[in-house]
Amino acid sequence: MTPTRRRDKAATRAALLDAARLRFARHGYDGTGVREIAADAGVDPALVFRYFGSKKELYAQAVRPEIPEGLADGTDRSAAVLADTLLHEVVLADWDEYGGEHPLLVMLRSSGRAEVREQLRAQLCDGYLRQFAERLPGTSPELRAEMLGALLLGLGVMRSVVGSPALNAASPERTRALFARVVAPLVEEE
């Protein structure tokens, strides 16, 4: 634990990314200034451009959800278990780095930008859902995967953005149970 992190490229980069994540999550792309991010990180605004080239690139790197373990690791899980895992990740988990929201939701907030939409699409369809579709049985697994993605995304939005009362008041177990019944037609044999 070094008392001063000065002259430490990695630490500076990380500090910028952390600060950017929070600011972007809370105030969106346009509502966030490079100077504010730098101030939060305690460094000079110029370093944003030294390390990331542009505000857009910083955004792209800051708000970039890693493919969650549930999909990335080699473990073979059933689609039903996977759906439950994703529910945890997207809806129920605490994303402190992102101000309590899943990065995908954060990106949604800045979806006015074409680049953000493209990033969103790539992360979601090419990242999450395609791997998910591969484990789904029956016909048109892609469509079913996307509908499951829609439900997860929607739940995340309802919870964090809309602040829907019943969803937030319900116990995780209750939510999981209802969710399981809803996605059953998607993850089970037709």
- Which residues in this chain contact a copy of itself in the complex, by CB under 8 A? 26-31, 59, 105, 108-114, 117, 120-121, 124-125, 129, 140, 142-147, 149-155, 157-158, 161-167, 170, 174-175, 178-179, 181-186
> E strands within 113-178?
none
4 or 171: whose CB is closer to DNA? 4
Find the shortest distance in angstroms from Cβ 64 to DNA.
Answer: 17
Residue 47, contacted partner among DNA, a copy of itself, none, CB below 5-8 A by kind: DNA
Q: Write the DSSP string, 66-85.
A: PPPHHHHSS----HHHHHHH
Find the shortest distance in angstroms from Cβ 20 to a copy of itself.
Answer: 14
- Retrieve residue 94's tokens: 């605490």
> C-alpha angle with apex 187: 181 to 188, nearest 5 degrees?
90
Residue 1, contacted partner among DNA, a copy of itself, none, CB below 5-8 A by kind: none
Find the shortest distance in angstroms from Cβ 41 to a copy of itself.
Answer: 20
Q: Tell me the backbone φ, ψ of residue 57, rounded to 5 degrees.
A: -70, -35
- Retrieve residue 140's tokens: 């048109």
For DNA, the binding residues (CB under 7 A) are 4, 6-9, 11-12, 32-36, 43-50, 53-56
Residue 2 CA: distances (Å) to CA of 6, 7, 8, 16, 184: 9, 12, 10, 18, 51
